[in-house]
Amino acid sequence: MQLLGLRGLQALLLIVTLGLVTLLPGQLRAQDAVFIQVESHATLGETERRARAYAQIVENVNGFRAQTGLYAIALGPYAPADAQALLLELLRRGLVPRDSFVVDGLPYVAQVFPVGADALSQAAQRLPADSAEEVAEEAVATIEEEAAEPVIPEETVQQARQSEAQLDRAGRDALQIALQWFGFYDSAIDGAFGPGTRSAMSAWQEARGFEPTGVLTSRQRAQLLGDYRAELAALGMERVRDERAGVEIDLPLAMVGFTGYNFPFAQYDAVGDSGVQVLLISQPGDRNTLFGLYEIMQTLEIVPLEGERERQGDRFVLTGRSETLRSHTEARLVGGAVKGFTLVWPPERDAQIARVLPMMQQSFSALPGALDPGAVPEGLGEDVDMVSGLEVRQPELVRSGFFIDAQGSVLTTTEAVAGQCARILINEAYPASVAYTDEALGLAVLRPEQRLAPLAFAEMAQAPGRLRSDIAVAGFPFEGALSAASMAFGTLADLQGINGETEVQRLDVATQASEAGGPVFDTTGTVLGMVLPGMSSGRALPEGVTLALRADQLGPVLAAAGVSPTLSARTEAMNRERLARLGADMTVTVSCWN
């Protein structure tokens, strides 16, 4: 094989740059025939209608059912070099969309138009490939011919109005859609060029350096639509019909690709470095299922804490924003199933997603059926930190606390809220704010953002406990991993702290770090105090030794916090089972989230 001449090499580089063909030395061999795909559609009827229209102006028009489940309109089959040359010519003449492309590998499974044709069998034959020199020379000739073609002359405003009047409804809609895409138009797509559309046209002209006349010339209309098609091609927006999930929606398939099912999601993960992720939501259920999903989604890392939450009737919307992540989730109850989607993206994609998200919302359609709960990857193991393969958000810190009044106010340790908490949650569900802190004593009072109705709240001791009497501590020793507080039993060892502090008492009982903030009970269920963190003057306490504030010393502090504690009049001792139940009803987790 001779080496390519300079002209041929230049042509090859140009063709590769344009993304038309990729030919390298050593790859020139007999190849399968290829097709030129010009459109894709979700329905057979629309495919047949458009294919008949193309058949009036070009030859070798076929309709195929593709492997993706969509339908494609494609021309062919052709030898690869012939297909490239024909595509250039069709683009030059404006007979096919600018995002048309050459398809090899035959991603089609059956022909649906014309009826009885079998272009796929022809495509399976091996055809001789032309030489790279011939392909390059032919492409250069076509490109030079296209470059020599006279450009569309600019029009006067009157001429622009006359050419505009020739547009059909679809052409007028297309201009409004393109203007809307670029943020110049925010009204209905109705094909009517009223004041809103004219204002949008003027804004687009001004932004592009044209005289803002409010009437687009033929050249300007071509530029606007060309820019719009180029953006669509970059996103790869395509209609996806998932019969298994019962969902139909437009997705940016240049950014995401299907990776599998993991109930209740059909998962589409990032393509390349896009950082974008899509989850199609599908599960059988009722309103309880919908609201349960609403709560679960908020525990996932892909739904940052900051953002709007809206739950009403048979639908919900969740948005999340952080410095590194954005997400939008919406779901609704329809036909005995919960259907919806989640879109996740990095902040640098904000501008693109501002266009993608409305297209997804407008195209979303719930089809019959829903994912089976058994739709999970084979061999998937259980993980307490994962939900359907998605990472559960973890708090920065978890400590214990307990209700101190009927309104749901919580007493806890200052250690629980000492960090830069973006949000403080009671029982990982109820947002709360810090109403009061006493750093010297190490206590904090939290108020929930919504009024709670606790099953039990503290009845505080009016006098010190008895030395060597039995006590019990309620708390969450495993960072909130258990669904209810557990109880540890011991004795009251001293009525003052290590250094003689009168507000502190010493307990002979072993506790874990996350039990700090929990209540200390005597055998009647009276609250004797609150567990303190396991450090004293910067030193760790010996194993089996716990310090706690004394409840009988907290009256003035709680009054300053605006809390009126209930004083205990209990005299009857409880067995350990009843005491543990009381502790579980009263004790909560306090978690700090960033």
Which pLDDT tens digit goes with each residue over 370-406?
999 887 776 555 444 456 668 777 788 999 999 999 9
Q: Which residues pair with 399 in a beta bridge?
A: 590
Distance CA 116, CA 62 (A): 11
Q: Which option is the CATH number for 238-390: 3.40.1000.10, 3.40.50.1220, 3.40.50.1460, 2.60.120.1570?
A: 3.40.1000.10
Distance CA 265, CA 251 (A): 15
pLDDT recorded at residue 32: 66
Contacts of 186 (CB under 8 A, 6+ apart): 180, 196
Helix, strand, or coil here: 491?
A: strand
Across 114-138, average pLDDT: 63
Distance CA 351, CA 355 (A): 7
Q: How confident is the model at residue 482 (pLDDT cuts 50, 70, 90)?
A: low
Q: Of 131-135, 306-310, 526-530, which range is least confident?
A: 131-135
The pair of structure tokens assigned to 369 is: 């059926």
Distance CA 588, CA 571 (A): 25
Distances in Å between the alpha carbon of 26 and those of 51, 81, 208, 263?
Answer: 38, 16, 46, 47
Contacts of 353 (CB under 8 A, 6+ apart): 276, 326, 343, 345
- Expressed in angstroms, the distance from the first to the final Cα of the chain is 65
pLDDT more than 70, % of the chain: 86
Give the start-to-end residue ranges of the domains of the chain: 29-130, 157-235, 238-390, 397-593
CATH of domain 397-593: 2.40.10.120
Across 122-147, average pLDDT: 50
CATH 1.10.238 fits 157-235, yes or no: no
pTM, whole model, 2 decimals? Answer: 0.52
Q: How confident is the model at residue 490 (pLDDT cuts 50, 70, 90)?
A: very high
Locus of tokens 């005491």: 579
Q: Which residue has the higher pLDDT, 586 or 379?
A: 586
pLDDT at 593 over 60: yes
pLDDT recorded at residue 216: 95
Distance CA 369, CA 335 (A): 9
SS3 content of the chain, % helix, strand, coil (to 5): 30, 30, 40
Q: Pairing between strand 34-41 and 71-78?
A: antiparallel
CATH topology match: 157-235 vs 397-593: no
Helix, strand, or coil here: 593?
A: strand
Distance CA 83, CA 77 (A): 8
Q: How confident is the model at residue 451 (pLDDT cuts 50, 70, 90)?
A: confident
**Contact yes or no for 570/582 (Cβ under 8 A):** no
**Contact yes or no for 244/371 (Cβ under 8 A):** yes
What is the rounded average pLDDT for all residues in the chain?
84
Distance CA 72, CA 66 (A): 6
**Contact yes or no for 177/221 (Cβ under 8 A):** no
**Contact yes or no for 244/363 (Cβ under 8 A):** no
Q: Of 42-46, 362-366, 546-550, 555-559, which range is least confident?
A: 42-46
Helix, strand, or coil here: 469?
A: coil
pLDDT at 326 over 80: yes
| Run of H or E residues at 550 | strand 545-550
